[in-house]
Amino acid sequence: MTVEIEQLSDRHFRPDPAGILADTAAARQGHVLVSISTAAASTKSGQDALWMLTNLLCRQFKLVTSIIFDIPDLPTFEKLAAFGQGTKLLQTMLNCVHAVAHNHVVAKSYRPEVAENVTIELHIGKPQGEARAPERLVIFADGWRLFIGREFPEGASTTSELSIGPYLAACFAAGEVFKRLRGLKPGKGELLGVDRDLLLSVWSCEAAPSWEALAPDPKLPNMPLPDFYIAGAGAVAQALALGLAGVPGLRGFAVAADPDTLDLSNDNRYALSAIENDGWPKSPMMKAFLEPRGLNVFAYEKTWQDYVSGSGRDHKRAELEQLERRYLYGTILSCVDDNGARHAIQNLWPGLIIGGSTLGLTAKVTTYDMRGDQLCLKCFNAVIDRNDRVKARLDHARTLNPEERRQYFEDLKIDPDRASEYLDDPGCGKLGAQDLDRFAAGPPMMSVGFVSVAAGVLLAAQFLRLQLSGRAPLTDRGALTIANFYRPGIRIVRSMPEATCDCGTRRLKDWRRNWSQH
């Protein structure tokens, strides 16, 4: 298989919607040294942080060109890696890089002579000795808590096997590498280890000045999850699956609905997939990953709208089927990126919707609880008429010169010759339904792997919070949880419904009619 580096790297070189990243011309390439102490490598949390960090770094195509590993000779924890699992920890990391990046990112074992030109060292656990790069960031995470900064946090220790904190720590650490190589505009953003350190509890979504001052982790009993739905099985959903898979004693049932297949243009952010998975259907891939880890999954390879209509819906769960016949859908975890699908989910007026999404270097999880005055999934997600969008994009293409037009069509994955023929003579030229769908969608926005993973991990955290604490804590401080990588941290904010949305009246009528007895 020939893999084009331009295709793999395209998404994270698109314009930054926040205008904080430097122009792409300022981007540089770098070598990263990833090291871990023997104490940290002996724990599941240390290995979780190491595997996710490796997974995210090797997806920074055309930025990270090599990763050098200084890893103790220790065995790998069972089911640590989604792919490339080896008996020893170092081999697992080398396998991960090769599976994701092939020859586009070089993976090596540490020797002093191969680490001479290292850009940055990322060390998991308490470091010994001096830094071996111009910069060293120390990483430590346990349970719901994490640290990234210059010196190991006093009093930090490992007590949990939950992967939420380690995975999110890996996201923030990978983000620091990305910002240093992709570049920040002068006076914009912050760099951990330079401007400040980060001590954070994912449970409380609050920072603290010391490890001991962080909010304590809740007890996590072995409990089955209620039946739930995963709408969309792309990048955010894959990270959701990884976050849930790290729950000790995981068990339950989920429906995962997605009609699409994996493609290489998204390999920079699909944390469950490797290059060889190009073209695989998304929802069966999630099923194959989650079922050996305790969660039974019905993989539905059509749209969410098709699932609701009952087409091919045979999950063989009689109690769930009875509820669905009455259009009673309990908890839906929304990972779709299409506003039409978002409207279809909200128009069912489910018991609860929790959605994950990304924009630039921010990850967002929103709880849509219609018991209160929260926004609904349709608010601020307007459905633009498909035909109007297609016409506008075709009109734009007509203004481009031949070279620009060819590149425009290639970016949309539309055959340039066929599309140009259609523009020159719509009566004779032909565009298929898939071509028109791509015109309607337009070119993808900037997206980076560590942001998508953060959105999915935060979505898993919010779903676990629902099981541990009930509904009220999901929105009592605000419906939106935002992870910011420009200025690293997590915050919770309030957001009122869109004034023109019909949820103001329908939550009183449709949602209460469905759920007043539940």
Burial 391-400 (b: 16+ CB within 10 A, else e): eebbeebeee
Do 12 and 91 lie in a common domain? yes
Quick one: 43 and 94 in the same domain?
yes
Mean pLDDT of 147-162: 96
**One domain for residues 367 and 392:** no
Residue 454 predicted with pLDDT over 90: yes
Residue 217 domain-assigned (yes or no) = no
Residue 355 shares a structural domain with residue 270: yes
Residue type, 104: H
Of 441, 458, 475, which residue sits at a domain end? 441
Query: Do the Cβ atoms of 443 and 411 come closer than 8 Å?
Result: yes
Q: Are both 376 and 395 inside the same structural domain? A: no
Q: Three-class SS string for 312-358? A: CCCCCCHHHHHHHHCCCCCEEEECCCCHHHHHHHHCCCCCEEEEEEE
Mean pLDDT over 373-383 rounds to: 89
* 3-state secondary structure (DSSP) of residue 191: coil
Identify whether 42 is part of a domain: yes
Q: Within this chain, do residues 168 and 243 fall inside the same structural domain, yes or no?
A: no
Q: How many other β-carbons are positioned within 10 Å of the β-carbon of residue 42?
A: 17
Q: For all residues of the chain together, what is the average pLDDT?
A: 92
CATH number, domain containing residue 332: 3.40.50.720
* pLDDT tier, 400 (very low <50, low <70, confident <90, very high otherwise): confident
Listed residues 441, 458, 483: the one ending a domain: 441
pLDDT band at 386 (very low <50, low <70, confident <90, very high): low
Query: Is there a contact between 147 and 140 (Cβ–Cβ < 8 Å)?
Result: yes
Q: CA 201 to CA 244: how far, in whole Å?
A: 18
pLDDT of residue 197: 98
Segment 72-78 shows an average pLDDT of: 97
Cβ-proximal residues to 103 (8 Å cutoff; 6+ apart), any chain:
none
Asked whether residue 194 falls in the same domain as residue 108, the answer is yes
The stretch 171-191 carries a mean pLDDT of: 97
Distance CA 112, CA 117 (A): 10
Domain of residue 308: give its range.
228-382+447-515
- Give mean pLDDT, residues 339-348: 92
- Domain of 196, CATH number, reads 3.40.50
Taking alpha carbons only, the member of 55, 74, 47, 73 closest to residue 166 is: 47
Give the closest residue to 464 by CA, choosing from 221, 239, 272: 221
pLDDT 10s digits, 203-246: 999 999 999 999 999 988 887 999 999 999 999 999 999 999 99
The total number of structural domains in the chain stands at 3
Inform me whether the pLDDT recorded for 430 exceeds 70: no
Cα dihedral 44, 49, 55, 60, rounded to 10, equals: 180
Separation of first and last alpha carbons in the chain:
53
